[in-house]
Amino acid sequence: MSGEAKSKQLLSRMGKKPVILGDKARAELKDNVLTLTGPVGTVKVQIPAGITLVIAEGKIQVKPDVADENIKKLHGLVRGLIKNAVQGVSTGFTKVLEIQGMGYKASIEGNNLVLQVGYSHPVKMAIPSGLKVSLDKQQVIITIVGADKQLVGEFAAEVRAVRPPEPYNATGIRYQGEHIIRKAGKAAVAATGAGAGGGATK
């Protein structure tokens, strides 16, 4: 069986399992839009043609209307989106970033995240609706929480992109736990080269 066939089979199997709402999430289907609401927020999932949802007894069953290959693929994908949405509105998704660098820090002003990361002026970023951003006491740990997994990830990526980790001294903004491959600076490379050359001289 090819990799693509295995992937389709896996998505199809996933699609057959109902999504459990739990005691925190509420679901409402209207005009092919599934709205999930919980303590963290609200997420809407567009349900494509060819897919039917059955909401009953605290579960959401995703069913394909026809035995079509494309619909089968959508079957598993839609279930995955709904599962993420239920988790998001119930407990939320989190991304944590770390700021490293002398004098580098962040602050929150109203609905804006303000970054001071080595530029001549602070960088102000509007916090998207549906996200909560908090800082540690040292103002170098940024925690982003939200119900929408994609939105959390996109905003975290935008924040990191303001000052990506610099490979020579590792200053900048990185994801928590992100490994940065360090590079030797020009001075270190020159010193190493001089040392190697000196050792070869007779």
Mean local confidence (pLDDT), 110-119:
98
For residue 183, what pLDDT is reported?
A: 72
Same domain, residue pair 169 and 121:
yes
CATH, residue 70? 3.90.930.12
Domain end: 44, 60, 90, which one?
A: 90
Q: How many domains does the chain have?
A: 2
Same domain, residue pair 112 and 153:
yes
Q: Where would I find the beta strands (DSSP E) of the chain?
A: 19-20, 26-30, 33-37, 42-46, 51-56, 59-64, 93-100, 105-109, 112-116, 123-126, 131-135, 141-146, 172-175
75 is a domain residue? yes
Domain end: 49, 67, 90, which one?
A: 90
Q: Could you report the per-residue pLDDT of 144-191, keeping only the tens digit for each?
A: 999 999 999 999 999 999 999 998 888 999 999 998 877 765 554 444
User: 75 with 11: CB under 8 angstroms?
Assistant: yes
Domain end: 30, 60, 90, which one?
A: 90
For residue 66, what pLDDT is reported?
A: 77
> Within 13 Å, how many C-alpha atoms sit on residue 128's CB side?
18
Structural domain that includes position 70: 3-90
Beta bridge partners of 144: 95, 133
Mean local confidence (pLDDT), 123-143:
98
User: 174 with 97: CB under 8 angstroms?
Assistant: yes
Mean local confidence (pLDDT), 13-39:
91
Report the alpha-carbon distance of residue 97 to residue 153 in Å, rounded: 11
User: 66 with 48: CB under 8 angstroms?
Assistant: no
What average pLDDT is seen over the chain?
87
Same domain, residue pair 67 and 29:
yes
Q: Could you report the per-residue pLDDT of 35-81, keeping only the tens digit for each?
A: 999 999 999 999 998 899 999 999 999 998 877 777 778 888 999 99
For residue 65, what pLDDT is reported?
A: 84
* pLDDT tier for residue 192 given thresholds of 50, 70 and 90: very low
For residue 167, what pLDDT is reported?
A: 86
64 is a domain residue? yes
Provide the b/e sequence for 69-95 (b: ≥16 CB within 10 Å): eebbbbbbbbbebbbbbbbbbbbbbeb
Same domain, residue pair 75 and 105:
no
